[in-house]
Structure 1
Amino acid sequence: MYYNDHDPPHFHVIYAGFMTRIEIMTGEYVRGDDALPSSKEKIVMKWLQLNKGPPKFADHWHTIVPPSFFMSLS
């Protein structure tokens, strides 16, 4: 996760020069990002399942990306 990153809450995965982003709550790839090789995807998804539940990974999103960073266009 990066400070002042954009929604949806996600994390970056970098492997052998390959970069993708995965949504924390759904485990889906951020739209437009390529999938990891299946063997690496299994490892990342297992890690996500172990770390996304409260009070873990997902709870840190709004600490890193404060709500005041976002604005409404409506």
Structure 2
Amino acid sequence: MTVLAPDHQRILGVLDERQPAGKGPLKAREIAVDLGLGTTAAKVEGVRSKARRLAERGWLLQETSGMFSAGRRPVAVPGAAPSA
């Protein structure tokens, strides 16, 4: 996880803490609050943007409702042989 920027690591940390406790996914606003950023639109949108980027890259899962949860999904690597 050290390959990620510190802000991205903090978002993953918030979501990873919830998983063992059996808690469900979070909205970007809830992640922002847990990070101590508050609920201003700019802060929430910044968290949402970073969380979406993490989901696109397979670091976490994004629900259809726009909520985020810990977990990894396989991501295709260009030029890599498909696994069988």
- TM-score, with length taken from structure 2: 0.36
TM-score, scaled to structure 1? 0.40
Task: Please identify which structure carries the higher strand content.
Answer: 1
